[in-house]
Structure 1
Amino acid sequence: MLLSSLLFACAESPVVSDGPAPQPVPTLKPVQLALNWYPEPEFGGFYDAALRGLYRDAGLEVTVVPGGPGVPVLELLAAGRVDVAITGADDLLVRRAKGLDAVAVYAGFQDSPVGLLVHAPGPARYEDVVGPVAAEAGSPFQQFVWARYAWEGKVELVPTTGTIAPFMANPASAQQAYVTSEPCLAEAQGASVGFLPAKEAGWNPYASLAVVRGGEKAEGWVGKFVSASQAGWEHYLVDPAVANAEIVKLDPELGGGKIDCVVARQAAYVRGTAGVGRVEGARFVELAEALNSVGVVVSGEGAYLER
């Protein structure tokens, strides 16, 4: 009876509070971020921003969508199925020439991670390469390097196999590679290797490049995404532990310390010389000239939101 009386009294008595009225929970803007490859340290800063709540603090609910071979991230962007796509600057210009309306807003890698994997102690320069060289025949990088150094008929071009086995078997060979991949694999197998960055040959597209639809480049959420991504990358360069744990969870192949090699090798390419995340118009103009020199007709104008 006493309990019933208490419940009745509580129901009839108004609730009085001296504190401020509760504030409505802000609505977060959903953002789908599509990667162009599997979860790897090349996307570490984006994972860092998501895991540490930097995107949420900026009012964004960012979902990182892993990619893989053949995943058409730019097509997904154009179709409105994702809001941000990660790609390379050369791919962006080629697709824009075919009608894609998309612009770059953030560069995860200031310098291209592409280059040539060579056996140590040398060659030390592209001019010193004698071959054979395994490269992706017909790719802009392959065409550009062969043209610049007049390798046609001098340096043997052999097909890539998707592995480093042929490279490991031939001490005179070189192989098109990513600084974050094949060098670490070769060292893990006991090889002593060197790496000739594509930048040294004059080929330097931005990589891990975040792009958005052209019609949305001025929307407020884009600036918030860029600022949070910048903070994520700057933190990741100093302390990658949280993001790396998630990346290894998603891609166990990077476990056993393998991820440490990747993180160490990519740091200088992320930082570059202009600053973390920078996107500069002059870089797109230079890239367009490089592509045009090998017959890939593109324009760098309007392909970026400079910052």
Structure 2
Amino acid sequence: MIPSLISRALMAGLAFWIAGSGVQATTLDKVSFGTNWVAEAEHGGFYQAVADGTYKSYGLDVTIVPGGPNVNNRIQLVAGKLDFFMSANTLQSFDAVTNKVPVVAVAAIFQKDPQVFLAHPESKVTNLEGLKPLTLFVSKEGMPTYFQWLKSEYGFNEDQVKPYTSNPQPFLADKKSAMQGYVTSEPFAIEKRAKFKPTVVLLADYGFSSYSTLIETRTDFAEKKADLVQRFVDASIIGWYNYLYGNNKPGNALIKKNNPEMTDELLAYSVEAMKRYGIVDSGDTLKNGIGAMSDDRMADFFNKMVKAGVTPRDIDYRKAYTLRFVNKGIGTNLHPTR
């Protein structure tokens, strides 16, 4: 009985000290984050930060709300039903300014947009110019965006385009064609299905300077809850370092739980591709950390999109993003070679 009384006294004293000091032992800020697709390796750092406790260590209780073909999480963000959203690319940020949608990008997780063209080895394509003689399978979303840049910068022609409908069969049947895709997924799918390694041409390596997988929030949220936004950005960055360079089993397990169709083989391929092509960690991130953005890079992409007729010239594109929460070198010590 005496030990029990002592334990109770200690617990009561601890509770009194916590209450008196203002420390909150278990209270976390609840945060909702919507992705733009079902769970996959391209979202890995966010799932990692949930699974390994990184968000919790930053005082956050984060719920990831997956996207999908019939889910529009960006609308949920604007409506106030989500706190953060994973935006696809910088064009969406410029579009928000054009249409006076009150959102702002606070970090850019992908330094390179993963958009690629895949070609047959027989076509002997070695660079972007080598795609010009080929039939190109381009989606309806690609035509008014990156293809307009291909036209203005490299002289591509719409006459060579056929619709891409996420079905690779037309590409597989025509060895004088190239198909759009993401460097982290479509090359793997083609290799598995057709038993050959396609030639990969990454548009980012030829000047398509869009950021991708940006963290976006409402403008007023970023202003009024700057501390929470900073903690979410910092923890997400740490999650990405851990996912790419540490033990990513917790993150992958959570991805597979949310997306039972995901395989270990595709997860491994996607992570390797992100590292090999510098999708997440390259350029400015080498000094400033994952999530880095710069005014020069934003201006460069804006000017290219204006020239291509994709983005209006008269918008204030600087309202699309803020550098307040990035470029602090967070997590760079977690890189294995630094």
Fold conserved (TM > 0.5)? yes
User: Which has the larger share of helix?
Assistant: 2
Q: Which consecutive unaligned segments of at least 5 residues does structure 2 have? A: 19-23, 327-338
Residue 145 of structure 1 deviates from its aligned partner by 0.7
Alignment-derived partner of residue 273 in structure 1: 283
Write the letter of the residue equivalent to 1:277.
G
Alignment-derived partner of residue 163 in structure 1: 167
Identity level (%):
27
CA distance in 1, matches of 2:28, 2:213: 25
CA contact (8 A) 1:49 1:228 kept: yes
Tell me whether 1:21 sits opposite 2:14 in the alignment. yes
Write the letter of the residue equivalent to 1:195.
V
Alignment-derived partner of residue 247 in structure 1: 255
CA contact (8 A) 2:106 2:217 kept: yes
Inter-CA distance 149–21: structure 2 relative to 1 (3 Å threshold): same
CA distance in 1, matches of 2:9, 2:99: 65
Alignment-derived partner of residue 67 in structure 1: 67
Larger Cα-atom Rg: 1
CA contact (8 A) 1:136 1:142 kept: no
Residue 234 of structure 1 deviates from its aligned partner by 0.4
CA contact (8 A) 2:36 2:86 kept: yes
Q: Deviations over 1:173-194 (max 9, x none)?
A: 1011111121110111212212
Q: Deviations over 1:249-299 (max 9, x none)?
A: 322332152221111112221112211211222222222112212222154
CA distance in 2, matches of 1:241, 1:27: 27
Give structure 1 regions of 4+ aligned residues with deviation exceeding 3 angstroms: 15-20
- Partner of 1:74, secondary structure, is helix
CA distance in 2, matches of 1:58, 1:75: 27
Write the letter of the residue equivalent to 1:286.
D
Residue 123 of structure 1 deviates from its aligned partner by 1.0
Q: Deviations over 1:25-73 (max 9, x none)?
A: 3421111100001101111001111111111111111100000125322
- Partner of 2:261, secondary structure, is helix
Alignment-derived partner of residue 110 in structure 2: 109
Alignment of 1:88-237 (within 5 A): 88-120=89-121, 122-129=124-131, 130-137=133-140, 138-152=143-157, 156-189=160-193, 190-218=195-223, 219-237=226-244
TM-score, length of structure 1 as denominator length: 0.89
CA distance in 2, matches of 1:299, 1:188: 45
CA distance in 2, matches of 1:225, 1:290: 31
CA distance in 2, matches of 1:168, 1:73: 33
- Partner of 1:212, secondary structure, is strand
Q: Deviations over 1:65-103 (max 9, x none)?
A: 000125322221111010000012211211221011111
Inter-CA distance 26–99: structure 2 relative to 1 (3 Å threshold): same
Alignment-derived partner of residue 305 in structure 1: 322
CA distance in 2, matches of 1:128, 1:261: 26
CA distance in 2, matches of 1:17, 1:177: 61
Residue 18 of structure 1 deviates from its aligned partner by 8.9
Inter-CA distance 90–70: structure 2 relative to 1 (3 Å threshold): farther
Q: Which consecutive unaligned segments of at least 5 residues does structure 1 have? A: 1-5
Write the letter of the residue equivalent to 1:233.
W
- Partner of 1:302, secondary structure, is helix
Alignment-derived partner of residue 3 in structure 1: none
RMSD between superposed Cα atoms in Å: 2.2
Residue 125 of structure 1 deviates from its aligned partner by 1.3
- Partner of 2:119, secondary structure, is strand
